[in-house]
């Protein structure tokens, strides 16, 4: 049977085209980082503010390369049993009882720690061969996990293998595509950084953001989209506690489209500011005079 899987991109241009094809607006730097991660078989560590499309990149990669997406959401206290593997204790119990009844308890060890009694969790599943090719492993928001979990990951990320004490080493035949994301609520340890390619996803430029909004929220009128993207770009340069991400811009576009707005007005901004800013201090600062000032600046420039 001929291999119908999409080929990995051969250079940076192809990578950029690939991302473009699934409507992920990237830039040259990100395309280079993705291309290198794919061709050097290295995990890709993506950092950036919340809502700039880090997780989306992993989803898009899985979609465009037709690979399975295996996702591990991190949280404090995440341990091997829920991240990598667990033994099937009830089955082991039964096996022991059975062996006891049959009087061959001496050899029970070999039957307990076998492949059948091993329950796969995301990390182990990502090492298993799959029909569609090595999967995309997304380790999401690693900054939410605690330091011990980072240590679990080190072996997996450098050698794409897991050592299970009772069982042996499980090694990936062909390494998965690993994407790790972090919002920097905590600094990631150097040991983990060292094993990854690093890319910082910045807020998009005016041009890029306009394209993103046009693609993701085509319901909003063109003039409205232009005004709101410019407004958001100005907001990001103000000293806000949490400047809006691209996800917020898209939300806002949907909200305004739902309200049948044709263009931005000061009243409309005040009413919908909650889809853009999520802290009361920030909203209090921008609502009213400040918003009107930014808006008049945009209208004057147009």
Partner 1 sequence: MDDPGRSRLAETILLFCRALRHAGLPVGPGAVIDALAAVAATGIQKREDFAYALRCVLVNDPAQFRLFDQTFHICFRNPLLLAQLLALPLVQPGQATAVAAQDAGIRRLLESLTGSSQAAADDDPSSRDRAGSYSAREILRHKDFAQMSLEEVAEAQRLLREESNIPGTCRSRRFRAGTSGRRYDLRRSMQLMLRCHGQPVQLARKSNEERQHSLVLLCDISGSMSIYSRMFLLYAHTLAAKHRRVHTFVFGTRLTNISRWLRDRDADQAMQKISAQVHDWDGGTRIAESLQQFNLVWSRRVLESNANVVLLCDGLERGSGAELAFQMQRLKRGCRQLIWMNPLLSYRGFEAKASGIRAMRPHVDRFVTAHNLASLDDLRRLLAETPPRRTVRALGVAA
Q: Which residues bind partner 1 (CB under 8 A)?
A: 11-12, 28-29, 32-33, 35-36, 39-40, 42, 45, 47, 75-77, 79, 81, 87, 89, 92-93, 96-97, 99-100, 105-106, 108-109, 112, 146-148, 183-187, 190, 193-194, 196-200, 239-241, 280-281, 284
Nearest approach in angstroms of CB 233 to partner 1 is 18
Smallest gap from Cβ 120 to partner 1, in A, equals: 16
What distance in Å separates the CA atoms of residue 159 and residue 161, rounded to the nearest whole number? 5
Specify the residue, 40 or 302, whose C-beta has the smaller distance to partner 1. Answer: 40
Beta strands in the chain (DSSP E): 44-48, 69-73, 85-87, 118-120, 136-140, 161-164, 168-171, 177-182, 197-201
Q: Please list the residues that pair with 179 across neighbouring strands.
A: 44, 138
In order of 157, 172, 209, the CA distances from 82 in angstroms are 18, 19, 37
Nearest approach in angstroms of CB 29 to partner 1 is 5
**What is the Cα 51 distance to its own chain's centre?**
10
Q: How far apart are the first and last CA of the chain?
A: 58
Residue 280: CB minimum distance to partner 1, A: 6
Which letter does DSSP use for residue 5 in this model? S
When the beta carbons of 124 and 253 are compared against partner 1, the nearer one is 124
Nearer to partner 1, 186 or 254 (CB): 186
Q: Which lies closer to partner 1 via its Cβ, residue 124 or residue 261?
A: 124
- Contact between residue 232 and residue 276 where contact means Cβ atoms under 8 Å apart: yes
| Residue 122 and residue 82 in contact, taking contact as beta carbons nearer than 8 Å | no
Opening angle at CA 272, ends 269 and 273, nearest 5: 75
State the minimum distance, in angstroms, from the CB of residue 213 to partner 1.
Answer: 25
Q: Indicate the residue among 261 and 273 with the shorter CB distance to partner 1.
A: 273
Residue (of 191, 286, 170, 68) closest to 275 by Cα position = 286
Closer to partner 1 by CB, 99 or 125: give it. Answer: 99
Choose between 3 and 190: whose C-beta lies nearer to partner 1. Answer: 190
Q: How far is the CB of 244 from partner 1 (least distance, A)?
A: 14
Report in angstroms how near the CB of residue 286 gets to partner 1 at its nearest. 13
Length of the chain (residues): 302
């Amino acid at each position: 049977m001929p291999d119908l899987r999409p080929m990995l991109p051969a250079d940076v241009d192809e990578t950029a085209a690939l991302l473009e094809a699934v409507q992920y607006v990237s830039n040259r730097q990100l395309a280079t980082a993705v291309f290198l991660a794919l061709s050097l078989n290295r995990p890709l560590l993506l950092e950036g503010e919340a809502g700039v499309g880090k997780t989306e990149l992993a989803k898009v990669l899985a979609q465009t390369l037709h690979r399975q997406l295996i996702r591990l959401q991190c949280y404090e206290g995440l341990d091997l049993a829920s991240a990598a593997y667990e033994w099937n204790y009830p089955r082991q119990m039964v096996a022991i009882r059975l062996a006891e009844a049959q009087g061959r308890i001496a050899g029970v060890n070999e039957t307990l720690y076998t492949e059948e009694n091993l329950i796969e969790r995301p990390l182990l599943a990502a090492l298993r061969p799959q029909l569609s090719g090595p999967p995309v492993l997304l380790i999401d928001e690693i900054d939410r996990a605690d330091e011990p979990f980072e240590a679990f990951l080190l072996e997996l990320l450098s050698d794409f293998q897991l050592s299970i004490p009772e069982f042996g080493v499980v090694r990936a035949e062909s390494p998965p595509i690993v994407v790790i994301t972090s919002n920097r609520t905590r600094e990631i340890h150097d040991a983990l950084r060292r094993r990854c390619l690093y890319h910082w996803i910045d807020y998009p430029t005016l041009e890029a953001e306009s394209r993103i909004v046009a693609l993701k929220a085509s319901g909003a009128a063109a003039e409205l989209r232009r005004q709101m993207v410019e407004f958001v770009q100005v907001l990001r340069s103000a000293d806000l506690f949490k400047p809006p991400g691209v996800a917020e811009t898209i939300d806002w576009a949907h909200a305004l489209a739902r309200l049948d707005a044709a263009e931005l007005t000061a009243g409309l901004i005040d009413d919908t500011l909650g889809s853009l800013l999520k802290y009361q201090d920030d909203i209090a600062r921008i609502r009213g005079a400040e918003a009107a000032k930014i808006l008049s600046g945009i209208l004057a420039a147009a």
